[in-house]
Amino acid sequence: MILSYRYRLYPTKTQGMALGDMLGDFCELYNCALEHRISAYAKGATVRRYDQSAALPQIRRELPHQGRWSATAQQQVLHRLDRAYAAFFGRVKRGGAAGFSRFRARARYHAAEFRVGDGLTLRKSGKLGFVGVPGEVKVKWHRALPSVPKSAILSRNAGKWFVILHVDVQPIERAGPDSVGIDMGLTSLVAFSNGETVARQNITKRNAAQLRRAQRALARCKRRSKGRRERKAVIAKLQAHIGNARRDCLHKLSASIVARFGRIAIEDLNIKGLAAGMLAKPVNDAAWSMLTNMLAYKAAKAGCELVKVDPRRTSQTCPDCGMITKKTLAERMHRCDCGCVLDRDVAAAIVVHDRAFGRPHGACGEAPSQRVAA
């Protein structure tokens, strides 16, 4: 299986300027290729990725600033545009919102793809070399690579540089023998079928006041001024901090789940639809999609079984007798005429486990301390 390993880069001032120039020139190439496709379409012609790749050597000869960078990385820029075009026509065919490809601004073009060994090289010194960038770029190797990477992505986030290396990882059989059902919610980030719950961190809410002040300060700045650029950098840094805190929380949670359980059941939620409703802000803050993706690749790496079940009526179904009773979002306890009384999210997690693997140990019917007299 292919996994991505992300590392922080520490370029010098000169190297940072060169990396920024490289992304700017890649953005120019992307926009020129897009304009070429648009003008060709207006004349009734079709331009493919391979047609533009064939013209790349001439572009590199005629434009010296383009010729100083890796040709394979520039081919990946053209491939990126081709993927955007394919996605556009796919949306048109499905009848969705089309969203035609747009010209990119240099200030918002933050990533480039490379082949390791061609455009980007891993030096024996432990540093990285980029074609066109002077010297070797320092890398913080906070964990060892399991194998030699084949491709990489250079990215810039809030003024910081990162490299994402794609490596082939062999699954390690270290999963625990137990099974668990997981219900993802907003009161509790996750609830387990064994009765445990993990509270949601409310990371966005904790940083909302600071973010609001920074955005108001930005709104008062004159456009294209130095002060506005500085305020934008402050907001970008704060948003990066919020994202890092969220990823750190979910990485630790998903790693703990995979280490404890060999079989994991989760709901197959329509997260995009939920994030478009009245609970969009807390749903996006909970980042269920990110947690699901982390569980998926970590379970595959650890040899765990991950099962997605139908999410319909999991919170309305009694885990003991199976009776369906409608509840409002304000009702946080599950109470059934059969005598089952449980936390609403825990009850839903038991139902999720029951749909995937059968009755879990410690379900409502097997825990007398959680029952009340009929």
For the annotated catalytic residues, the residue numbers are 183, 267, 345
Instruction: DSSP for 116-148, please give it.
Output: ETBEEEE-TTS-EEETTS-S-BEEE--S--SS-
Nearest-angstrom CA–CA distance, 70 and 119: 5
Count other Cβ atoms within 10 Å, centred on residue 305. Answer: 15
Per the CB < 8 A criterion, the answer to whether 286 and 200 are in contact is yes
Nearest-angstrom CA–CA distance, 324 and 35: 57
Residue found by looking up tokens 């394919």 in the block? 86
Task: For residue 330, give the amino acid letter.
Answer: A
Hey, which residues does 192 pair with through a beta bridge? 182
Q: Which residues, in sequence order, are CB contacts of 311 under 8 Å at separation 6+? A: 267, 268, 269, 270
Per the CB < 8 A criterion, the answer to whether 194 and 347 are in contact is no
* Phi, psi values for residue 97, rounded to 5°: -65, 125
Nearest-angstrom CA–CA distance, 166 and 269: 28
Quote the Cα angle for 302-305-307, to 5°: 140
| β 197-199/333-335 pair status | unpaired
Q: How big is the chain, counted in residues?
A: 374
Task: For residue 345, give the amino acid letter.
Answer: D
- Helix (H, G, I), strand (E, B), or coil: what is residue 100? coil
Closest by alpha carbon to 87, among 78, 98, 95? 98
